[in-house]
Amino acid sequence: MIKKLLTIVLFASITLIGCTAPTENIDTINDQGKAVMQLDYRDFERAASQMVQSLIASGQLKKEGGRYVVASGRIVNDTMQRVDTDQLMVKIEKELMNSGLVVMTSAVSGGTSPTDSMVYDVRDIRDSEKGSEFKQDTLQQKGQLIAPELSMSGKIIQRNIRYDNNKQQVEYYFQLQLANLGTGLRYWQDETIIGKRGDRKNVPW
């Protein structure tokens, strides 16, 4: 009787193991995975790619005899998802820096955009008693930080629309703008829309 029970349990275990979906790494170069209702990495890649190409083609980043210093402004996440806006901005900033057109500043930023706290930490050290421990000519001098000339800010918006009884439509708007901090003028602005339509039961957050 026990032998029979063990055989059944063993058989059931093997069957259940066979039904488990195996974990696999995503092929991020040629991903053949189906679309999802939430924002995934492919959506951020598409939005970033289109934004960068639009910005470079606009010709607004060309500065005679040098490069613009750009600060990361505030990127508002107005979606129902917990989106880290750096997922978008890191890709865009990286490409813009690689293009040779601009240099980003880590000294100032808007909202939750990243700054490098070490920029100010080393200055605090310089002005404190600990500063005397350092070779004085290796400490950062006053008045050396470069102020940004341009700021990049934006917004990610989500709209949920009931498509029919069984389907819903989710629209994501990626909006980005580039402003001249000296004049306040807006040099460039663009929007990329990513729309998804799927089962109403799929929760897009």
By C-alpha distance, which of 94, 62, 99, 60 is closest to 188?
60
Distance CA 133, CA 190 (A): 50
CA 67 – CA 119 distance, rounded (Å): 21
Q: How many Cβ atoms from other residues are within 10 Å of residue 82's Cβ?
A: 7
**55 touches 89 (CB < 8 A):** no
Q: Contact between 119 and other proteins (CB under 8 A)?
A: no
If binding is defined by CB under 8 A, does position 171 make contact with other proteins? no
d(CA 100, CA 102): 6
Binding status of residue 94 toward other proteins by CB under 8 A: yes
Total residues at interface with other proteins (CB under 8 A): 26
User: Does the footprint of other proteins cover residue 49 (CB under 8 A)?
Assistant: yes
Is residue 32 involved in binding other proteins (CB under 8 A)?
Answer: yes
Closest contact distance (angstroms) between CB of 1 and other proteins is: 50
Q: How far is the CB of 21 from other proteins (least distance, A)?
A: 18
Read off the tokens for 139: 């400490």
Give 31 or 78: the residue with its C-beta nearer to other proteins. Answer: 31
Q: Is 1 helix (H, G, I), strand (E, B) or coil?
A: coil
* Nearer Cβ to other proteins (58/177): 58
The piece of 11-19, 33-41, 130-138, 153-161 that touches other proteins (CB under 8 A) is: 33-41
Radius of gyration of the chain (CA): 25
Residue span binding other proteins (CB under 8 A) among the ranges 66-74, 93-101, 155-163, 181-189: 93-101
Here the tokens at position 133 are: 């421990």
CA–CA separation, 65 vs 159, rounded Å?
A: 43
Q: Which of 40, 86, 95, 171 touches other proteins (CB under 8 A)?
A: 95
One character per residue 52-91, x = contact with other proteins (rule: CB under 8 A): xx--xx-x-xx----------------------------x
Q: Supply the DSSP symbol for 114.
A: -
Token code pair at residue 68: 């613009």
Interface residues toward other proteins, by CB under 8 A: 30-35, 42, 45-46, 48-50, 52-53, 56-57, 59, 61-62, 91, 94-95, 98-101
